[in-house]
Amino acid sequence: MSDQAKSVADSSPSAPTPAPQPGSASPASMPSAKAEVAFDIQDLSIFYGKTQAIKNVHLQIPAMSVTAIIGPSGCGKSTALRALNRMHELTPGARHTGKILMKGEDLYGPHVDATVVRRRVGMVFQKSNPFPTLSISENVLVGLRLNGVRDKAFLNQRLEESLRMSALWDEVKDSLNRPGTSLSGGQQQRLCIARALAVRPEILLMDEPCSALDPIATAKVEELIHALKSQYTVVIVTHNMQQAARVSENTAFFYMGSLIEFGPTEQIFMNPKNPQTEAYVSGRFG
Ligand SMILES: Nc1ncnc2c1ncn2[C@@H]1O[C@H](COP(=O)(O)OP(=O)(O)O)[C@@H](O)[C@H]1O
Ligand SMILES: [Mg+2]
């Protein structure tokens, strides 16, 4: 199974769970949502064999907001992201030291099931690849189906909700039985986002989700990220600094496996504290 298929399979709940609906959480029920920490990364190092890809990273990723990870190619962005839903474990020879707490709980604790983690933490990949043999609707529902959800009314409802959340419903509602691969590149990426959302993860990880998209499709995905952040924690890797500036509240700058600087996006771009961050955001290296 590909990593992507594995991620979809793992992210499938065994039974329908109530979906967090837009606007359904009253302000009183989540008074300090903005201040909550989604991931508390403590002294994280990640190795591929003898290569150290992530070096002693400490980072607290806030819940219910968008965090961008930026940095030059090969600096460890994807590796760091994949550690957050234990996908890096699928790479032979990969190992880590240090700790990641997710909402206070040790993500790699002895009693924590990686498949449950991947259910709670969804992933959207750089290259959209809908399952080629599946229709638009079956691409969205594949995770639920793999885990035996059969209730037709529930599946139909989840299908529409997920496609609406990913801003694709109006474009595909009359052609749900067409192959997922018949859609444009930008639509396919939104289809993959709908697929990730269909199992209602708590957190959405996105690894350069727009790198293969044209500017119009990119704008749609960015609007979608904006809309999601009231309900979701989103962590997005991007090599596009304008994109990081547009979509995120906080930005982490990585360089050669180290976290160089983390802070409010505006500060990272307008007033970085570290000279390496300054050099990178001003385009002097990269
Ligand atoms: N599967 C792998 N096996 C061995 N080395 C890897 C693997 N994936 C990534 N790396 C190495 O880890 C480092 C970080 O890679 P990556 O996380 O993909 O960086 P980025 O996403 O910032 O481009 C690089 O030196 C890369 O060559
Ligand atoms: Mg990468």
- In this structure, the number of other CB atoms found within 10 A of the CB of residue 261 comes to 19
Q: What is the DSSP letter of 33?
A: G
Report which ligand 1 atom has the smallest distance to the Cα of 208: 21
Tell me how far apart the terminal alpha carbons of the chain are, to the nearest angstrom: 34
Range of the domain at 176: 3-11+63-76+113-281
183: CATH: 3.40.50.300
- At position 219, the amino acid (one-letter code) is A
* Phi, psi dihedral angles at 126 (to 5 degrees): -60, -45
Residue with tokens 């638009």: 136
- Does the beta carbon of 78 lie inside 6 Å of ligand 1? yes
pLDDT the model gives residue 3: 64
Residue 82 in any domain: the answer is no
Whether 26 is in the pocket of ligand 1, judged by its Cβ within 6 Å, is no
Distance between CA atoms of residues 230 and 233, nearest Å: 8
Query: Is 108 inside a domain boundary?
Result: no
The pLDDT assigned to 286 comes to 57
Q: Is 149 part of any domain?
A: yes
**How many whole angstroms from 16 Cα to the centroid of ligand 1?**
36
Does the residue 246 lie in any domain?
yes
Residue 128: its pLDDT value, please?
A: 86
43: left (phi over 0), alpha (psi -120 to 50) or beta: left
Rounded to a whole number of angstroms, the CA Rg of the chain reads: 18
The minimum-distance atom of ligand 1 relative to the CA of 81 is: 17
Output the pTM of the full model. 0.88
Residue 55 lies inside a defined structural domain of this protein: no
Handedness of CA 235, 36, 226, 131 (dihedral sign): positive
CB 85 within 8 A of CB 199: no
Q: Is residue 188 part of a domain?
A: yes
Instruction: Count up the domains in the chain and report the number.
Output: 1
For ligand 1, whether the C-beta of 75 sits within 6 Å is yes
Residue 9 confidence (pLDDT): 60
**Residue appearing with tokens 């508390």:** 40
Reference 59, options 258, 234, 204, 255; nearest CA is 258
Q: Is residue 98 part of a domain?
A: no
Provide the 3-class DSSP secondary structure of residue 14. coil
Which atom of ligand 1 is found nearest the CA of 49?
A: 4
Residue of 54, 69, 78, 254 to mutate, ligand 1, most atoms within 8 A of C-beta? 78
* Whole-number Cα distances in Å, 244 to 70, 216, 277: 8, 17, 14
User: From CA 262, how far away is CA 61, in angstroms rounded?
Assistant: 10
Instruction: Point out the ligand nearest to the CA of residue 91.
Output: 1
251 forms beta bridges with 68, 263
Domain assignment present for residue 39? The answer is: no
Ligand nearest to the CA of 75: 1
Pairing of strands 37-48, 66-70: unpaired
In this structure, what DSSP letter does residue 179 have?
A: B
Q: How far apart are CA 117 and CA 61, in angstroms?
A: 17
Q: What is the mean pLDDT of each run of 10 residues along the chain (286 residues)?
A: 63 45 38 72 97 98 97 96 94 96 94 92 91 96 92 97 94 97 94 94 95 90 90 94 95 98 97 96 81
DSSP string, 241-256: HHHHHHH-SEEEEEET
CB atoms within 10 A of CB 86: 21
Q: How far is the CA of 108 from the centre of ligand 1 (A)?
A: 21
Distance 207 CA to ligand 2 centre (A): 7
Position 10 scores a pLDDT of 67
